[in-house]
Amino acid sequence: MTRLLVFAGTVAAAALAAVAAAAAAYTVNVTGPMDLQQVSAAATGDTVFRISPATGSVTVQSGGGSRISTASARSQVTVICRPSRSGDTDCTTRNVAMRIGRIGQLTGRARPLAGFTVAMGTATLTAPPTGVHPIAFELAPLGANSAKTFFVGADFGVAGDESGLATGNSENGFYAYIVDANGLQLGGDTDKGKVKVFRALSIAKTADLNFGRIQIPASGASTVTLNASNGNRTVTGSGFGYPTPAPTRAAFTVSGEGGQQFSLSIPATLVLTGPGSLTVNLTDTAPNAPSLAGGLGSAGTYSFTVGGSFSLTNATPTGAYAGVLTVSLDYN
């Protein structure tokens, strides 16, 4: 009799193990990396870009870098529950425990992902996420063979120029797992955070725009022109230009990521003030879409010059005139 009881208990235990092994099956699929696309790094220090899971938009949380691209940067996660057998109710009765955290190696200027956040698509969140790395949260039952979605955002750090790390394509990584009550993985997927990093874009003035000393015309009008291409000054009419101080065209040098196009904003006119005012019509040597010398992964420079012209009459007040020429730029 004792042997029969022991044998019966062993059969029962084996049957329970078989039932547990036949639980519902879960799959997780991460669609698309968290992709910042193109960013300009800070000259010094990290820049932290925050990816919104709700919209995919990106904002700068700290640091002096900026994002060049505008496309959505969030990732989508799709989870599916498939019953293992007829009568299995796990998919319709059990909440789904999720974990999201960072994983994998870093390349280039990418820092580890942090501050993960989620926003629901067709899935339902039962309570706000907890934790930092990883974050933990639960989804309401998914339903049998039904695909439910949510979106993932994070804080994506990018190292500055002083780090000495390589620019160009850079990556980090993250995972999205479903776990059971014991923390064992039931299903999961991984993907990357991606970014193409450019050096900080900067501009330095190397020469002032200086028309030199001009004699006003005895009568009528004169036009003073400083050629942007060669720096030659001409004066029409009865006015003339003195040889000293020597006239100079404005000169600028742009520094940044090699091979990259950028846009320049140079004003069409510049007002010089003194005893009166003079409006200078500006000209420059920069094309519509200049490019920095070199290639991606190396430092590049580009130089251009600015000249202009203005009119004088014998009624123009004599004296010194000055103004401020402001040039702005950004990566395309």
CATH code of 276's domain? 2.60.40
Q: Are 257 and 198 in contact (CB under 8 A)?
A: yes
Specify the pLDDT at position 225.
98
209 and 148 in a common domain: no
C-alpha 189/C-alpha 186 separation (Å) is 11
End-of-domain residue from the set 198, 222, 242: 198
Q: Which residues of the chain have pLDDT under 50?
A: 1-22
Cβ atoms < 10 Å from Cβ of 156: 29
Structure tokens at 81: 């529950």
Q: What is the pLDDT of residues 214-243, one digit of tens each?
A: 999 999 999 999 999 999 999 999 999 999
Q: Has residue 118 been placed in a domain?
A: yes
Q: Has residue 6 been placed in a domain?
A: no
217 and 293 in a common domain: yes
294 and 194 in a common domain: no
325 and 274 in a common domain: yes
Stated as kind and residue range, the H or E segment containing 281 is strand 277-284
**Full residue range of the structural domain in which residue 267 is found:** 202-331
Count of domains observed in the chain: 2
Specify the pLDDT at position 23.
75
Q: Has residue 305 been placed in a domain?
A: yes
Specify the pLDDT at position 4.
29
102 and 177 in a common domain: yes
Structure tokens at 200: 């900080």
211 and 170 in a common domain: no
257 and 190 in a common domain: no
CA dihedral 52, 56, 62, 67 (to 10 degrees): 180
Report residue 227: phi and psi, to 5°. -70, 125
What are the helix and strand counts (H, E) for the chain?
2, 23
Q: Are 39 and 68 in contact (CB under 8 A)?
A: yes
Q: Has residue 19 been placed in a domain?
A: no
233 and 207 in a common domain: yes
Q: Are 174 and 106 in contact (CB under 8 A)?
A: no
184 and 53 in a common domain: yes
166 and 265 in a common domain: no
Q: Has residue 108 been placed in a domain?
A: yes
242 and 188 in a common domain: no
C-alpha 119/C-alpha 217 separation (Å) is 72
Report residue 289: phi and psi, to 5°. -135, 75
C-alpha 154/C-alpha 2 separation (Å) is 61
Laid out side by side, the sheet with 168-179 consists of: 66-67, 34-40, 185-198, 168-179, 96-102, 135-139
Angle at 17 between CA 20 and CA 181, to 5 degrees: 40
End-of-domain residue from the set 198, 226, 243: 198
Q: Are 222 and 311 in contact (CB under 8 A)?
A: yes
Q: Has residue 41 been placed in a domain?
A: yes
Q: Has residue 148 been placed in a domain?
A: yes
End-of-domain residue from the set 168, 198, 228: 198
93 and 32 in a common domain: yes
Rounded to two decimals, what is the model's pTM? 0.85
Q: Are 51 and 69 in contact (CB under 8 A)?
A: no
Q: Has residue 282 been placed in a domain?
A: yes
